[in-house]
Amino acid sequence: TTRARTGADWTNTERNTPCGVAALHHATAPREYMATQLERDKHARYLLHCLREVPQPYAALDTSRLSLAYFCVAGLDVLAHLGKIDAPLRAGIVEWIYSLQVLPPSDGCAGLPADRLGGFRGSGYLGAAHSSGGAPSSSPYDGAHLAMTYTALAVLLTLGDDLSRVDQPRVLAFVSSLQDEAGCFSAYPGGE
């Protein structure tokens, strides 16, 4: 038969685990060991830290850096701590997002796919020239992505931007180009 674990059992288990870290599963932990309150301030500090500097474990996700920004900003909004993003950081985030906007090249756009003409890229990882308003695609691999376009617009709106600098006709053309006959969308032309 199995007996219920007591607080002493959990203490002993914690002491006997590597590095003194307990691997407690919420379904088996006694009530007195389960968090009863969300540590809002600690979560907010962590999210603000992630907005200022990408933690090392996430550095490999540079192509999706905009997604990280989205989850941090949305998390702060859900925690009712959006006001903790000070004006300089807020302005920096907005400018950075606009720099990720894919714009048509100045020498014309004949023959280029829609992902190289509008929408937002996940970060500047492929070397597109930095410009506060956005930049043309720097290669066939430097195009807009549907999820990054969504997260860019969501963060801009959450931070109070009026979207006046978004090239709306190009974004709409990009999103429309990703819809198939059945009404389904892919993330990028020819993609998933």
With contact defined as beta carbons under 8 Å apart, do 163 and 105 qualify?
Answer: no
At residue 67, the pLDDT reads 92
Query: For the ranges 33-47, 91-105, 164-178, which has the lowest average pLDDT?
Result: 33-47
CA distance 52 to 112: 35
CB-neighbour burial class of residue 158 (10 A; exposed 0-12, middle 13-18, buried 19+): middle
Whole-number pLDDT of residue 111: 64
Residue corresponding to tokens 């807020």: 90
Query: What distances in angstroms separate CA 2 from CA 5, 7, 44, one per listed residue?
Result: 9, 16, 40
More confident site: 85 or 110: 85
Q: Which two tokens stand for residue 129?
A: 């020239």
Kindly state the average pLDDT of the residues 3-31: 44
Question: 142-155: string of b/e by CB count within 10 Å (b at 16+)?
Answer: bbbbbebbbbbbbb
- Inform me whether the pLDDT recorded for 133 exceeds 70: yes
The confidence band for 34, taking pLDDT boundaries of 50, 70 and 90, is low
pLDDT of 81 higher than 50: yes
pTM given for the model = 0.76
Task: Please determine, for residue 25, whether its predicted confidence score (pLDDT) is greater than 50.
Answer: no
Beta bridge partners of 135: 102
Residue 103 confidence (pLDDT): 84
Q: What is the pLDDT of residues 110-127, one digit of tens each?
A: 666 656 778 998 887 776
Mean pLDDT of all residues belonging to the chain: 79
